[in-house]
Chains A and B, each alone.
Chain A
Amino acid sequence: MTLAVKDNICTASLPTTCSSAMLAGYTSPFDATVVELLRDEGAQIIGKANCDEFGMGSLNVNSIHGPVVNPFQPTDAYDVPLMAHEPRSAGGSSGGSAASVAARLCTAALGTDTGGSVRLPASYCGVVGLKPSYGLISRWGVVSFADSLDCVGVLARSVDTVKEVFDVISVYDARDPTAASPELRKRASSTAEPCLPKLFSSNTLDGLRIGVPQEYFPLELEPSITSSLRTIIRNLKDAGATIRPVSLPATQYALSAYYVIASAEASSNLARFDGIQYGLRVPPPAGASRSKPSNVYAHSRSSGFGREVRKRILLGTYALTADAFDNYFLQAQRVRAYIKADFNRVFRHPCVHLAHPESCLSADGVDVLLHPSAIRTAPRLAEKRECDTSSIDEYLQDVMTVPASLAGLPALSVPAGLGEDGWPVGMSVVGQWGTDQLVLQVGRVIEGIR
């Protein structure tokens, strides 16, 4: 198996730049656990994949290596050479990982997903992308963006390949303090197991309950994506699944909460890049103040970090100041708790993290949720430049993906046909924590529908 590895995952044999000038030329002295596990299984690492700087971005345009161009070829343009296409974004932040899989440069790719960074590029590039349950895959060797959200994810052209890679790397690692214990993994998979054998034996979905959350249809959602979803739903019904509308009312606050939490953690995690031990060092110009270490560090940090990273560090720093902490950071944590509670209310399977998992179960709960992975197909790279003044649009790309990140749930984006413009549309299957195999299996059925 050939493998591309996102450039924020440490490899001892290749540089790990996180697409940042700050780490240009930095090579880690160690391999990430996921790299070690896959290499032991015989995977061949063909290279490091471009990404948004430190994983911050949804279009993979924030990179010292330049933007990632989406390699998808619309059917009506097969005879047009790639360079003559109007380039579209591969999505971010794992854009290089999605593009290398879509362009058949490798069998599979490792990405990371903090708020949608695997699922969004998978959707835009027309490949499968899995963000597993938080804590299943070791983060040792993954350069932290926001530790409480960061997950290593897998991208490939089929659900089976994704599963093959996932099965190798989904093991407990003592070097990750947030790794789920083997006991917890067992308990979670046993809750979903009863419905698995039937799904595996045939492609029938008898007895499977699928929820469609009504909050996942924002005004900005392209109509052709809704029609793709309808097609999928119809086919799933035909295969025997029960489709049920569900409500996740806290969803409307998810995006704001996500950006506060992710930026706050990022401002903390990126404090180590000071130009002292490693990475870019820009000495203070003559006459500049050296009275405090921060005055000296500021020159390296201002030149080493790109615009988006600087913006998020400032945002996160503000959210953690004594005056803003309650209104921003704590408020966002409360929203996060509501979002988790929303999910726990609609699922048939208990959340094994809770002290009394069975207490909040609804009798008619669903096995998985189904919703579009993105509000649109891949945007043109030129569009990004036009709306450079406001990145709200870019942040909006994450509206469908951040709730599962905040709740730590497994989420799989599967190709689900093409949009009106002939570009790929992705659908997301989201399950209760630890039910990754169930999510993959439902994804496999959707994959077969195409």
Chain B
Amino acid sequence: MAKLVSDDLRLIVESPRKIERAVREDKRWPGWEVVVGIEVHAQVKSRRKLFSDALTSKPGEKPNSFVTCYDAALPGTLPSSLASAFDRKHYFYSDLPAGYQITQRYVPFAKGGHLDLSSSCDNLRVGITQIQLEQDTAKSIFDARRGITQVDLNRAGSGLVEIVSEPDMRSPEEAGNYVRTLQAMLRAVGASDGNMELGSLRCDVNVSVNKHGHPLGTRCEIKNLNSVKFMMIAITSEVFRHIDLLERGQTVPQETRGFDEVKAETFKLRSKEDSPDYRYIPDPNLPPLLLSPVYFQEYIDRVRRSMPELPRETRARLMSMGLTEQEAEVLMAVDAGREVRFDGEPAKGAVQYFDCLAQGRSAKAAVNWMIHELLGQLAARKETFSDNPVSVEQMGELVDMVQNGEMTGKSGKALLRHMVTSRSTASPSILARELGLLAISDDDGSLLKNWCLEAIEALPEEVQKVRDGNIKVMNRIMGKVMQLSGGRVKAGDVTQMLEVLLRKS
């Protein structure tokens, strides 16, 4: 039982902070400044629900099969939790069995942070007002034919994280950039898979407009946007609606609005006067958890040490290893497609694969083989990186063999194609031998000489042309040598040998 400090419960209501930025005229709305703040709700990628032992479910599972007595709000049940300080938000709705949602209003999980947007030319930093944990609701499905609402409690009580930004964005594009960056961050730390199509990440956006140099306009909130594209369209349409009202001498009423994806415009849900009083109360079952200072420090240190690398750090590290920005972006884009596992378990992605491959090898060679050859082979088969059958060990051995000259680059590529197709787990050296892809041991160059002579004999016309000075035709003779050798000779050696032989005769 922790001491309740009542004065902690008084909310300090500050007027929205607005960062001043250099006036940048937007051709779509000259003279106007757009101000956007975003609330992101992301499902926590956790095996269990926030306050019960029930497992979390995926959409499409059998309704009401992931439910404990607590999730169904049966009398006499209590939440189970090791987390600290939650509040109840009350409203009556069929998808809320307890009549309240457990959230964090008074003492949120975290306060006053920021997010640096990736791939932003201005290095834009968006302030994060607060991050809070809360329960997801159940799902109510209205059956219009039968005129009834059905309730599925599978999702009830799953964990959600709500991330509230400051109104720091100035265009629909910045808003899109913010959500994408946040999504990558959530995935990188394993907090959420951030999948907007499946609804594991949804956004509410606050939009207002004001003339340059003027104070903030009245904001409207657009609820429940479930794709970055729709969010940007919704903001654009809302901006034009506000400007239109203001230019006609009217005011913008403070409202909560929805978004019609078909008409690509927002519509009124409720005005400020109708906004419900949620009667927040600190949850008496989930009081603040008091940790001893020693334990607390140790805990924080442990979490800090186990923090995965954030996208921005990964990019910087990859570039410091000698990768170009573009190569780093490709690796990270592929990495972003990896599975986010439960409860922050590390998952294997493209970056981790690269890191292992580059261990003790040239980073440049590793990234070339990965991006151009491996990803290329997979893409040709319409497969993604998660389908990659080639282990880091196999890939590493293959790269080494090419680097050491045991195999030519061409043979290496052929071998990789074979490995991707056959999904063989055998070592590349064994496979290369089986397939006759090993470079020829030809210390005195006699083999090479024989192939070259053979080629010269087979292509008398071409030989004549080369002798007449048409050097380009040399390539055809080289091609013949390659064909005869099965690609196991180096192009440089062939050129040298041919030059010698052609000069001689």
Contacts and interface: CB of A to CB of B under 8 A. Distances in A.
Contacts of B74: 28-29, 277-278
Given A174-B80, A265-B281, A134 B286 contact: no
A205 B342 CA distance: 60
Interface stretch (B17-25, B92-100, B478-486): B92-100
B494 to A, nearest CB: 75
A320 B76 contact: no
B75 A10 contact: yes
B78 A268 contact: no
Interface stretch (B4-12, B33-41, B107-115): B4-12
A272 to B, nearest CB: 4
21 contacts: A28-B75, A29-B74, A134-B1, A135-B1, A139-B78, A147-B285, A174-B80, A177-B78, A177-B81, A178-B1, A178-B287, A268-B281, A271-B90, A274-B99, A278-B74, A293-B93, A320-B281, A334-B6, A336-B4, A337-B5, A408-B1
Given A177-B81, A265-B281, A276 B97 contact: yes
Chain B interface mostly: loop
B80 A177 contact: yes
B76 A141 contact: yes
A354 B4 CA distance: 11
A32 B6 contact: no
Given A174-B80, A177-B80, A293-B93, A18 B1 contact: no
A58 to B, nearest CB: 22
B426 to A, nearest CB: 51
Given A276-B94, A333-B4, A355 B281 contact: no
B302 interface: no
B90 A268 contact: yes
Given A18-B75, A178-B1, A353-B1, A329 B281 contact: yes
B73 interface: yes
Nearest to B9: A330
Contacts of A355: 290
Contacts of B284: 146-148, 178, 265
A143 B76 contact: yes
Give the most central of B2, B74, B284: most A CB within 10 Å.
B284
Contacts of B321: none
Interface in A126-167: 134-135, 139-144, 146-148
Contacts of B1: 134-135, 178, 180, 353, 408
B79 interface: yes
B392 interface: no
B72 interface: yes
A200 interface: no
Contacts of B280: 320, 325
A175 B74 CA distance: 14
Contacts of B281: 264-265, 268, 320, 329
- On chain B, which size bracket covers the interface? 35 or more
Interface in A228-278: 264-265, 267-268, 270-274, 276-278
Q: Considering the complex of A and B, which 5 residue pairs feature the smallest CB-CB distances, nearest first?
A: A271-B99, A148-B284, A333-B6, A320-B279, A147-B284
Contacts of B99: 268, 270-272, 274
A408 B73 CA distance: 26
B78 A330 contact: no
B358 interface: no
Given A32-B76, A272-B73, 12 more contacts: A9-B76, A10-B76, A29-B74, A134-B1, A177-B81, A178-B1, A271-B90, A271-B99, A272-B98, A292-B92, A333-B4, A408-B1
A297 interface: yes
A321 interface: yes
A16 interface: yes
Contacts of A273: 75
Contacts of A420: none
A277 B97 contact: yes
Given A330-B6, A333-B6, A30 B76 contact: yes
Contacts of B279: 267-268, 317, 320-322
A408 B488 CA distance: 85
Contacts of B88: 268
A268 B100 contact: yes
B295 to A, nearest CB: 12
B186 to A, nearest CB: 27
A322 B276 CA distance: 10
B277 interface: yes
Interface string A163-186: 000000000001111101000000
Give the most central of B9, B93, B279, B286: most A CB within 10 Å.
B279
Nearest to B3: A353
Contacts of B100: 268, 271
Contacts of A141: 76
Nearest to A141: B76
Nearest to B91: A294
Interface in A304-346: 317, 320-322, 325-326, 329-330, 333-334, 336-337, 340
B248 to A, nearest CB: 32
B141 interface: no
A294 B79 contact: no
A32 B77 CA distance: 9
Contacts of A317: 279
B365 interface: no
Contacts of A337: 3-6
Contacts of B98: 271-272
A73 B232 CA distance: 79
A58 B281 CA distance: 26
